[in-house]
Amino acid sequence: MSYHQPQVSCIIPIYNVQDYLKDCIESCIQQTYKNLEIILVNDGSTDNSLEIAKQYLKYPQVTLIDLKKNFGVSIARNCGIDFVLNKEKLITEAMGGGASPYRFYLS
């Protein structure tokens, strides 16, 4: 009898955490649970966090969402949750005559 593991989404809001980010992401990647996706949400970091996060796009279970400015941890979390819940329909809209404040990096 085979057991189906439900998909688990690990959402990691990122804001200027370059000193801790590698350990956090590595911890998620090394989990033994196989049906795990990791959603990294960069919340307008001004340090090296975005560059560190981009290094993990080589893993198929990692997705990176880059918010172009800092909206706060609640918005970053909600953006990750929205992505998980609406994967099959990624919708963006113009804001203030410009492009969406989100940049998606899909592995």
**What is the SS3 assignment for 66?**
strand
pLDDT band of residue 107 (cuts 50, 70, 90) is: very low
Neighbours of 35 (CB within 10 A): 11
CB 44 within 8 Å of CB 75: no
Q: Which fold has domain 8-106?
A: Spore Coat Polysaccharide Biosynthesis Protein SpsA; Chain A (3.90.550)
How many angstroms separate the CA atoms of 36 and 28, rounded? 8
∠ at Cα 64 (5, 3), nearest 5°? 5
Residues in the chain: 107
Q: For residue 22, what pLDDT band results from cuts at 50, 70 and 90?
A: very high
| Confidence at residue 104, expressed as pLDDT on a 0 to 100 scale | 56
Residue 103: DSSP 8-state:
E
64 in Cβ contact with 13 (< 8 Å): no
Mean pLDDT of 6-19: 94
Q: Which pTM does this prediction carry? A: 0.80
32-89: pLDDT as tens digits: 998 999 999 999 999 999 999 999 999 999 999 999 899 999 999 999 998 888 765 4
The confidence band for 95, taking pLDDT boundaries of 50, 70 and 90, is very low
